Structure 1
Amino acid sequence: MGLIYVNPQGVDGQPDPAKTAHDVRVTFARMAMNDEETVALTAGGHTVGKAHGNGNADELGPEPEGGDIHDQGFGWLNKKSRGVGNQSVTSALRAHGRQNRPNGITATLTSS
């Protein structure tokens, strides 16, 4: 299926939940998915696949509820990095099944 991208900051970068919900529905409807299938794919994709990482905890902004009002719906923000590429994270499920595992993942999975 490839990368499916809906701007997490809202349509055209404007935080408007109603417009974002509409944009998500339109985006996934193009792939013949209803709301239930969209939720399953999104939740499952980030659970078993990749997700954006927050990076170094020292570089995170305030807790979401303590941030600026326009940032509160976006979780922990990192103003120094975007959480993509080598800053993305993967679940152990996805990494464990790979033939060429990322460095250290086997030790992480088997340590108690």
Structure 2
Amino acid sequence: MNDIAFAPIREVAVGLPDADHFTTATTVSGIMGILMSERWPKRANDTGWQHALTTCTRAIQLEADTTMARKAFVAAARDAGLKVLPDDEQKPRMRARSSARRPAVQLRQPHSDRERHNR
């Protein structure tokens, strides 16, 4: 039987409070386990957490894609103030790369007298 709960997702690790290491998940059931963990920082009416749990449940029931479940999990972790790897490591690199590019709008150089007369 091909159980979607154990279908692989792109690995995700989250730094939970009071933990010396990151907790890693590679399946939808793994991220559900982290969401339902005693160590997850729960708040009253935490809509991000509720959405992530619902999306994971829908993925297991084949009503949502596993990548949607992972994205909802990452969003809930960030809402809870948790560091998410590798997602949070990639952002600074992406910013550094984008700042090395040319600006989207380049200033025009003033035309010489000769170029102005040829127009």
* TM-score tier after normalising by the smaller chain length: under 0.3
Larger Rg: 2
Name the structure, 1 or 2, with higher relative contact order (CA <8 Å, separation 6+).
2
Q: Between Structure 1 and Structure 2, which shows a larger proportion of strand residues?
A: 2
Q: TM-score, normalized by length of structure 1? A: 0.23
